[in-house]
Amino acid sequence: MWGAVIFLVALLIVRISHWWYTWSNPKNHGKLPTGSMGLPIIGETLDFFSSNSLFDIPPFFTKRMQRYGPVFRTNIVGKNIIASTDPEINYDIFQQENRSFLILYTESFMKILGRECMLVHHGNFHKYLKNLILRLVSPENLKATLLPGMDEATRKHLDSWASFGNIEVKEGSSKMIFEYFAKILIGYDEEMAPKGKLRDNFQAFMDGLISFPLNIPGTAYHACLQGRKNACEVIKDTFEKRKASKTPYKDFLDQLLKEVEREDTFLNEQIAINLIFVLLFASHETTSAASTLAIKFIADHPDVLEELTKEHEAILKARDNDESGLTWQEYKSMTFTHMVINETVRLANIVPGILRKVVKDVEMKGYTIPAGWMVMVVPAAVHLSTDKYENPLQFNPWRWEGQELHAGSKTFMAFGGGIRLCVGADFAKLQLAILIHHMVTKYRWSVTKGGNIVRKPGLMFPDGLHIEISEKQKC
């Protein structure tokens, strides 16, 4: 009797040990990077999602870089991943897009974004959707159409901030950008909307976007999925009403309706609705986070504020009409402002990692990256590298002096890289420049509370950034 029990226990131990060994040492045709796969099934997910309050490289990556080097293997939310903090490898990954590597997200992230999301499409379909979006946010359309409206909306909201005397910047900038972009996308007026506003649902979505994927009531992930569902219902309702009315609004939705009706189109209603959802999410959330950091950094560095004020006061003095709005030529002349923007997004590292699926075995620097795995490019490890940037944790816009300010590189990938370079990068930079222009020429402000960050692993402001703001007195 006891002999049978001991035999069964021993057999169970052998099976578990073999399972654990197989999990920890996945098969490969070549040489895998060193690393740890963590616990079976769970992997290193919990460690990846643990929070920190650093501008530095997240501890999850720092610990593994110190132990395994710039390229290592891991497992997060059930996916075998090669994480790369090597600029050369990262650049090669982006250059081999649609050949050796394809855009891909974890199953949990796919549920959040939707399977019709433009981010997951490849080849001609992705190119088609990208060109469709560029009709809205290309530099040409920003210059010809959107700039005056962005300028007006920014002035309106900043006047409102000053009339209250104080504002939480992340909330205020998020509201400003969302209201403007929702209007040019689908003619949606947040102030006129009934209860259950579109932006409220996006906030629930954002709160759980990068969270542990446990879909039960009460979790951030569940609230995120519900927020997405509710937001898409509002967008769908707007879509259906517009389609029935036939009234032209001259916004992006009009263009999507025409595309859906074409016989040779890639687009259907579900893809169009999801496209609007993703554009609303991407446009306001990341830009408002960058705006919040920019205002904090400028307030914390009087020398930067002084240089910005000098640049923007010169723009005002060169105008024939004091009341005229910002022009494209003025925007392009803001050299130091663009240095501030680049330095802000370098330190912000809003995206913790950029994922690609490996479609065939790839040899890189002596390692074999196996087909079926994922690679994670880690921008923060490059942006905060002492080999690439002197005193990388210091906010120093002057480090960009004499450098290319409007393109990505092996050492600057705040807007991604390759053919997946962020299609909305020019929109975000223009919005930041307009905000800075009006803040430094028309207002005085100081931080009264908050400004701390938490990465979970995405960038959050747990206490917000509260400022006291007032209009400058005219001389």
Angstrom CA distances, 459 to 53, 262, 284, 366, 453, stand at 9, 40, 14, 34, 7
Name residue 76's beta-bridge partners: 79
Give CA 63 to chain center in angstroms.
24
Report which of 285, 209, 280 is spatially closest to residue 238, judged by C-alpha positions. 280
In terms of DSSP H, where are the helices of 301-334? 302-317, 328-332
| Binding-site annotation, residues | 422
Helix ranges (DSSP H) in 97-146: 107-113, 123-137, 139-141
Residue of 120, 134, 127, 98 lying closest to 266 (CA atoms): 127
Question: In this structure, is the dihedral angle defined by the CA atoms of residues 81, 83, 89 and 91, taken in order, positive or negative?
Answer: positive
What is the residue type of 168? E
Cβ(256)–Cβ(275) below 8 Å:
yes
Longest dimension (CA), the chain: 100
Closest residue by Cα to residue 444 from 156, 157, 173, 158: 158
Alpha-carbon gap, residue 416 to 90, rounded angstroms: 10
> Comparing C-alpha atoms, which of 369, 455, 372, 377 is closest to residue 420?
377
Give the residue numbers of the binding site for heme: 422
